[in-house]
Amino acid sequence: MALSSVGDSTYRGGVRAHGVLSDIPEAGTSDHVCWVYDDDAAFDRAVQEFLAGGLERGDRVLCVGERVIERLHGLSLSAGDVPTLIAAGAVETQTLAQAYAAAGPFRTGNQLSYYAAETRRALAEGYRGLRVVADVSVLAADPVTRAELIRWEQVAAGFIAQAPGLTALCAYSSTPAGEALADVASVHPLVRGPESLPPFRVFVEDGHVALAGSLDTFTADRLARVLASSPVGAEWAVLDLRRVEFVDVAASRAIARWAQDLSARAVRLEVRGASPLLRRMWHVLALDEIAPVTFAGDAA
C-alpha cells in the first residue's frame, strides 16, 4: 500500500493506517477507502483490484451501484468469470435503488444495520468477510443526502475498525468536483484522489472522532461542516488529535464552535492527543470560554 508522508509508518502498531493512496491496498480486515476516479479506465482498474483482492482472500463481494454493475462483466478476475462467481454467490450485485430499498430510508442507523447483517450472513456462510465496492457519486452530489452520507461514512469507518469482516471501497466520480467531493473524501481514513483534496481526514475509531493531517484556515469551514455531522454520545464526545500534524487559529476556532454546539446539547467534549502548542493557543485565544472542553490529563 502506497501512502503519502501522512502514512502508516509513523503510527504502525497502535494507530489505524491513514493517508493518501496511490494504489489499492492489499486486501485486509479494516479497509475503508475513498477512491476518486477520473475516467472509466481508472474506475475499472480500481474495482478489479479491489474485488480480486477480496475474492483471493475468501470474501464475498457485494457490488453496489449501476456503474459498478455495468463495468463488472468486462473485468478479468483470476477467481473465475463473473457469471460463475455470481451463480456461486461469491459475487452479488445491487443497484442503488435496491440497496436502499433493502436498508430502508437513507439513514445512518439503517445502513449500519443492513451492512452488519450482510457481514454476519457472509461469515455464517463460510466467507472470511464481506467486501463492498459502491459507486455513490449520486448521493454526494445530492444536497439532501450529503450530510447524512458524511455521517454514515464516519460511522462505517468506526464499524469496519471495530468489527473486522466488512471492508469497503467507496467510489466517487471526480466530475463534477467541488465541495461535495472534498467533504466526502475527508471522512475516509484512506483516500485516493486529485491534489485538491483536503489535507485532513475525520473518521470514527473506538467510538471516538479522530482527526488526521493538517487543519488550517483554508479548510476550517469544511472541518466545521464535517464535525457537525460526526456521531457522538449522548453525554460525552472524545476528539482524538494524535494524528494531527498542524492546526492553526481558524481550525482551533472551528473545533471550539463544535464544542459549543455540543455543550448546547449537554454533551461534554474531551480532547486527547493535543499538542502543547494547541493547548497554549487554546487558552491564549480564550477558546476555553466559548465551551467547556477537557484536555486529556486536565482535571475534570
Q: Is residue 300 part of a domain?
A: no
Whether pLDDT at 196 is above 80: no
Residues 181 and 232 placed together within one structural domain of the fold: no
Q: Return the C-alpha cell found at 127.
A: 466467507
298 pLDDT band, cuts 50/70/90, is: low
Q: Is residue 2 part of a domain?
A: no
Q: Is residue 202 part of a domain?
A: no
Whether 8 and 18 have beta carbons less than 8 Å apart is answered as yes
Three-state secondary-structure class, residue 261: helix
pLDDT of amino acid 85 = 92
Angle at 160 between CA 157 and CA 161, to 5 degrees: 85
Q: How far is CA 175 from the centre of its chain?
A: 20
Whether 99 and 169 have beta carbons less than 8 Å apart is answered as no
Least confident of 1-5, 82-86, 134-138: 1-5
Distance CA 145, CA 139 (A): 6
pLDDT of amino acid 41 = 86
Residues 184 and 233 placed together within one structural domain of the fold: no
Mean pLDDT of the chain: 85
pLDDT of amino acid 11 = 29
- Peptide bond before residue 176 is cis, with ω within 30 degrees of 0: yes
| pLDDT, tens only, 48-73 | 889 999 999 999 999 999 999 988 88
pLDDT of amino acid 299 = 42
| pLDDT, tens only, 68-123 | 998 888 888 888 888 999 999 999 999 988 887 777 778 889 999 999 999 999 99
**Which residue, 196, 226, 252, sits at the end of a domain?**
196
The terminus-to-terminus CA distance of the chain in angstroms comes to: 41
Angle of the 220-228 helix axis to the 249-264 helix axis, nearest 10: 20
Residues 151 and 183 placed together within one structural domain of the fold: yes
Q: Return the C-alpha cell found at 48.
A: 478489479
Residues 103 and 181 placed together within one structural domain of the fold: yes
265 pLDDT band, cuts 50/70/90, is: very high
**Which residue, 156, 172, 196, sits at the end of a domain?**
196
Beta strands in 4-136 (DSSP E): 19-20, 32-37, 60-64, 91-94, 130-135
Q: Is residue 5 part of a domain?
A: no
Residues 50 and 155 placed together within one structural domain of the fold: yes
Task: Give me the CATH number covering residue 171.
Answer: 3.40.50.300
Task: Give me the CATH number covering residue 230.
Answer: 3.30.750.24
**Which residue, 196, 226, 256, sits at the end of a domain?**
196
Count of domains in the chain?
2
Instruction: Give every CB contact of residue 79 below 8 A, 6+ residues apart in sequence.
Output: 52, 55, 56, 85, 90
Whether pLDDT at 159 is above 50: yes
Residues 108 and 245 placed together within one structural domain of the fold: no
Calculate the CA dihedral of residues 223, 228, 229, 231 and round it to 10 degrees. Answer: 110
Query: Residue 69's CB: how many other CB atoms inside 10 A?
Result: 15
Q: Is residue 47 part of a domain?
A: yes
Residues 279 and 186 placed together within one structural domain of the fold: no
Distance CA 134, CA 94 (A): 9
Domain that holds residue 251: 209-295
Distance CA 222, CA 216 (A): 10
Whether 246 and 281 have beta carbons less than 8 Å apart is answered as no
Residues 263 and 140 placed together within one structural domain of the fold: no
For 82, 93, 134, the CA distances from 229, given in Å and listed in that order, are 38, 29, 21
Whether pLDDT at 205 is above 70: yes
Residues 146 and 246 placed together within one structural domain of the fold: no
Beta strands in 195-300 (DSSP E): 200-205, 208-215, 236-247, 268-272, 293-295
Residues 139 and 268 placed together within one structural domain of the fold: no
Which residue is it, cell 455531522? 229
Q: Is residue 201 part of a domain?
A: no
Residues 30 and 157 placed together within one structural domain of the fold: yes
Residues 167 and 41 placed together within one structural domain of the fold: yes
Q: Return the C-alpha cell found at 241.
A: 488529535
Q: Is residue 240 part of a domain?
A: yes
